[in-house]
Amino acid sequence: MSRNTVFNEFVLKFGTVNGSGSASANFLCAKVLFRMGLPVSAKNIFPSNIQGLPTWYEIRVSEAGHMARRAGIDVMVAMNPQSYKRDAAEVVPGGTLIYDSTLERRFDRDDIQVIGIPIARLCAEHWTDSRQRQLFKNMIYVGSLISLLGLDDGVVEQLITEQFKSKPKLIEPNLKALHIGRDYARDNIDTPIAVRARMSDKTAGKILMTGNEAAGLGALYAGATVATWYPITPSTSLVENFERHASKLRRTEDGRHNAAVVQAEDELAAVGMAIGASWNGARAFTATSGPGISLMAEFIGLAYFAEIPLVLFDVQRGGPSTGMPTRTQQSDILTCAYASHGDTVHILLLPGDPGECFTMSVDAFDIADRYQTPVFVMSDLDIGMNDWVIDELTWDDSRKLDRGKVLDAAALDAVAEFARYRDVDGDGIPYRTLPGTHPTKGSYFTRGTSHTDTGGYTEDGRLHAQMLERIKYKIEGAAAHLPKPVIDIRDPEARLAIVNFGSTDPAVREGLEELDREGHVMNHMRLRAFPFAQEVRDFAEAHDYLFVIEQNRDSQMRHLLMTEADILGPKLIAVPNIDGMPLTAAFVREFVLQALRRLPGYGEASRIVAQ
């Protein structure tokens, strides 16, 4: 390796064909780097297709801990002739492109290093079966990275052994392919590449997990027993993970498990079932994405108005309409905040990583039960489907589920009169009962029509207004008990700040550091829930301008901040990003710098920080 080699800070990208088995090989590389003690951020950039189209997998390695996506590829493993041209174009000058040179070709880039490995030929020499020839290509390029990039032999072999634990026959041929790639690169490639991985210790106490798995686990730990859903990218793996873990961790003595998972006929039925189950006292949820939310809207209004707890996971993708099903976006914010016709306002939780998908998933069930209302967990494709490095999940065994105000038979006997929708405690939250509880007390009629405080039908405008006002008061009361915004005062004197939420956080934090180095010190607030806590208003009050960064065209969160937190529009500078890719720090930095030039008095660097 050369003296200028950069260690442990690089982006490695794979360009492959979907359906060719490359996904597991690529994930293997991410996991190897993670096990080598390196923080990794892995982004799967895939088509809405089953087989044959280009697909990519980006791994950013950053010992310094920058986990946002970064443009500019240091090492491109280009295994798909369909995408050679654009793959080569993405490599940074001085970077490396590795390709299958069985068919040699030129890449029209004399500023990058091109490494050819005759992968198909090597496979043909060692295997006769056509399927094996195809599959082992993947392991050959992984093997080459041992020699070229410094993937650790021992870690790779250990992971392969673990991966095929249940199919031990596959271990040996995979190791063979790995070694073919490793040895070919070692023996035939002389020039070192500009970046390299070496062992570190930055991932102690960390795990690599997707948000959908974490959210599914959260539902399991929240005691959810009914999951009803309709398959839709990118939410599908959430319920699948719930079911997979439930089948192990909720197993009964006779081999069944304490959960019911039903794949519904559509999203309307999925949410209807969740509402029915929740009404009947089970913790129930559904998971979907934007198109599903649109279909569920009518039922969401029913749950809001009839005050039925409901947990919905919206793993957002590119809209409108079918949009970009396999790209990330945060464009369901307004749809969810006000889902359904009439006056409705809903609680949104805004996880910033898979770790928060777990904690907020558990919290969502408590909040839904406490406030008897729908609660949305607003994840997105980037958090939901990509593997993130997060702190180990933790659980406090003394935690009790908060099932809210539910009267059992004894409590019903003790009350003089039960009125389902009466505000007894002054907090706007009424008491509910479950069907089948008491022979003569506590039954009521659940309806989406306007109702009296005992659940009777009414067309009395005064009672209707009282009901709507009470529900509004109830939801407003929740604001103080939702996850608080994460506020980072980087300089108490700073007049500017960045506001964001969800998966954009790694890019925003990295961007803040870059701006900081250039003399623009800004404070930072990451929103974690809607309705907004008082802290959100106070933070806005304390700054002259706030850049509101969000992945949608119409600056939906900015709208919410204006209308629901009464923050003046001119103070809130919209920073929309809608290309469907995970946000980069470069985008944040460039957008903010450009905007600063238009803000009189703020464009000059406010403080130069010594490097």
Partner 1 sequence: MTHIVKPQFRHPRLATNSQGLTRRDYEGVISTLCAGCGHDSVTAAIVEACFELELPAHRVAKMSGIGCSSKTTNYFLNYSHGFNSVHGRMPSVATGANLANRELTYLGVSGDGDTASIGIGQFVHAVRRRVNMLYICENNGTYGLTKGQFSATNDRASKNRKGLDTPFDSIDLCNMAIELGAGFVARSFSGDKAQLVPLIKAGIRYKGFALIDVISPCVTFNNHTTSTKSYEYVRDHNHMIGRLDLVETSAEIEADYAPGTSADVTLHDGSQMRFTKLDESYDPTNRETILPALERYRQRGEVATGLLYLDKREADLHELIGTPDQPLNEIDERALVPGSGPLAAINAAHR
Residues 6 or more apart in contact with residue 475 via CB below 8 angstroms: 345, 346, 347, 371, 373, 428, 531
CA gap 430, 413 in Å, rounded = 17
DSSP conformational letter for 451: B
Q: Which is nearer to partner 1, 409 or 542 (CB)?
A: 409
- Minimum distance from residue 247 beta carbon to partner 1 (Å): 10
Among 65, 66, 84, smallest CA distance to 76 is for 84
- Minimum distance from residue 61 beta carbon to partner 1 (Å): 17
Neighbours of 517 (CB within 10 A): 15
Tell me the sheet residues that pair with 422.
none
Q: Which is nearer to partner 1, 102 or 452 (CB)?
A: 452
CA gap 313, 309 in Å, rounded = 14
CA gap 309, 332 in Å, rounded = 21
Q: Is 463 in the site for partner 1 (CB under 8 A)?
A: no
Name residue, tokens 């129930």.
284
CA gap 546, 429 in Å, rounded = 35
What is the pairing mode between strands 496-501 and 545-550?
parallel
- Minimum distance from residue 437 beta carbon to partner 1 (Å): 7
Site for partner 1 in 484-513 (CB under 8 A): none
Neighbours of 87 (CB within 10 A): 24
Name residue, tokens 């709208």.
559
- Minimum distance from residue 552 beta carbon to partner 1 (Å): 29
Residues 6 or more apart in contact with residue 356 via CB below 8 angstroms: 483, 528
Site for partner 1 in 384-443 (CB under 8 A): 392-397, 400-401, 433-440, 443
DSSP conformational letter for 482: S
Contact 288, 270 (CB under 8 A): yes
Site for partner 1 in 192-231 (CB under 8 A): 203, 206-209, 217, 220-223, 225-226, 228
Applying CB under 8 A, which part among 108-116, 138-146, 312-320, 452-460 lies near partner 1?
A: 452-460
Among 13, 9, 386, 29, smallest CA distance to 200 is for 9
Size of the site for partner 1 (CB under 8 A): 77
- Minimum distance from residue 229 beta carbon to partner 1 (Å): 12
- Minimum distance from residue 420 beta carbon to partner 1 (Å): 10
Note if the bond before 234 is cis, omega within 30 degrees.
yes
Between vectors from CA 578 to CA 572 and to CA 583, what angle results, nearest 5°? Answer: 85
Applying CB under 8 A, which part among 19-27, 318-326, 454-462, 550-558 lies near partner 1?
A: 454-462
Residue from 23, 282, 486, 562 binding partner 1 (CB under 8 A) = 282
- Minimum distance from residue 165 beta carbon to partner 1 (Å): 11
Name residue, tokens 């029915």.
276
CA gap 139, 243 in Å, rounded = 31
Q: Which is nearer to partner 1, 414 or 610 (CB)?
A: 414
- Minimum distance from residue 205 beta carbon to partner 1 (Å): 9
Q: Which is nearer to partner 1, 161 or 395 (CB)?
A: 395
Q: Is 339 in the site for partner 1 (CB under 8 A)?
A: no
- Minimum distance from residue 121 beta carbon to partner 1 (Å): 36
Q: Is 178 in the site for partner 1 (CB under 8 A)?
A: no
Site for partner 1 in 351-380 (CB under 8 A): none
Site for partner 1 in 256-275 (CB under 8 A): 256-262, 264-266, 268-275
Q: Is 67 in the site for partner 1 (CB under 8 A)?
A: no
Q: Which is nearer to partner 1, 86 or 251 (CB)?
A: 251
Angle between helix 119-126 and 130-149 (nearest 10): 130
- Minimum distance from residue 107 beta carbon to partner 1 (Å): 37
Query: 63: number of CA atoms within 13 Å, CB side?
Result: 13
Q: Is 302 in the site for partner 1 (CB under 8 A)?
A: yes
Q: Which is nearer to partner 1, 36 or 573 (CB)?
A: 36
Q: Which is nearer to partner 1, 123 or 215 (CB)?
A: 215
Q: Is 164 in the site for partner 1 (CB under 8 A)?
A: no
Site for partner 1 in 34-53 (CB under 8 A): 34-35
Neighbours of 128 (CB within 10 A): 7
Applying CB under 8 A, which part among 91-99, 278-286, 327-335, 592-600 lies near partner 1?
A: 278-286
Residue from 79, 277, 496, 572 binding partner 1 (CB under 8 A) = 277
Applying CB under 8 A, which part among 51-59, 87-95, 250-258, 548-556 lies near partner 1?
A: 250-258
Torsion over CA: 8, 39, 48, 553 (sign): negative
> DSSP of 41-59, one letter per residue?
EEEEE--SSSSSSEEEEEE
Q: Which is nearer to partner 1, 23 or 268 (CB)?
A: 268
Q: Is 115 in the site for partner 1 (CB under 8 A)?
A: no
Q: Is 481 in the site for partner 1 (CB under 8 A)?
A: no
- Minimum distance from residue 375 beta carbon to partner 1 (Å): 17
Residue from 252, 416, 461, 604 binding partner 1 (CB under 8 A) = 252
Site for partner 1 in 531-590 (CB under 8 A): none
Side chain identity at residue 269, one-letter code: A
- Minimum distance from residue 356 beta carbon to partner 1 (Å): 16
DSSP conformational letter for 504: G
Residue from 71, 413, 445, 609 binding partner 1 (CB under 8 A) = 445
Residue from 27, 229, 230, 279 binding partner 1 (CB under 8 A) = 279
Residues 6 or more apart in contact with residue 437 via CB below 8 angstroms: 407, 408, 409, 412
- Minimum distance from residue 547 beta carbon to partner 1 (Å): 34
Query: 197: number of CA atoms within 13 Å, CB side?
Result: 34
Q: Which is nearer to partner 1, 45 or 274 (CB)?
A: 274
Side chain identity at residue 385, one-letter code: M
- Minimum distance from residue 439 beta carbon to partner 1 (Å): 5
CA gap 442, 432 in Å, rounded = 8
Residues 6 or more apart in contact with residue 416 via CB below 8 angstroms: none
